[in-house]
Amino acid sequence: QKEVEQNSGPLSVPEGAIASLNCTYSDRGSQSFFWYRQYSGKSPELIMFIYSNGDKEDGRFTAQLNKASQYVSLLIRDSQPSDSATYLCAVSLSGSARQLTFGSGTQLTVLP
């Protein structure tokens, strides 16, 4: 079982819709959770982080964390074509010397 799992997609949504990206992790002791956006040929860019159960909103982005279910998600409201990218979920595993483990990423396409 992979430590951090994401649906690879591709996920396609129409412009203006809500895009929902999901991530599960295996280590119940995980402490910190991050969402990165990566455009093709570019390096990842941090867009959200969450440490506590519940929702965290930042502009059009909402991160949701449920530690009991070992599940973290990212919602993108009013999706724009510029949101088309690969979204990487990253988790700081317990006892990992603060290294981040990345999921394989979900490719999102927002259709104009």
Partner 1 sequence: GAVVSQHPSRVICKSGTSVKIECRSLDFQATTMFWYRQFPKQSLMLMATSNEGSKATYEQGVEKDKFLINHASLTLSTLTVTSAHPEDSSFYICSARRGQGDEKLFFGSGTQLSVL
Least distance (Å) from partner 1 to the CB of residue 44?
Answer: 5
Of 99 and 112, which CB lies nearer to partner 1 in the complex structure?
99
Closest to partner 1 by CB, 13 vs 100, is 100
Phi, psi torsion values for 83, nearest 5 degrees: -80, -10
CB-based contact 90:29 (threshold 8 Å): no
Q: Which residues form the interface with partner 1 (CB under 8 A)?
A: 31-32, 34, 36, 41-46, 49, 51, 88, 90, 92, 97-105
Which residues share a beta bridge with 40? none
CB of 93 to partner 1, least distance (A): 11
Place of tokens 């280590």: 27
CB of 3: closest distance to partner 1 in angstroms? 11
Min. distance of Cβ 105 from partner 1 in angstroms?
6
Looking at the Cβ atoms of 4 and 76, the one nearer to partner 1 is 4
Asked if 10 contacts 108 with a C-beta cutoff of 8 angstroms, the reply is yes
Which residue number, 69 or 99, has a Cβ lying nearer to partner 1? 99
Q: Which amino acid appears at position 36 of this protein? A: Y
- For residue 69, give the amino acid letter: S
- Asked whether the beta carbons of 56 and 63 are under 8 A apart, the reply is yes
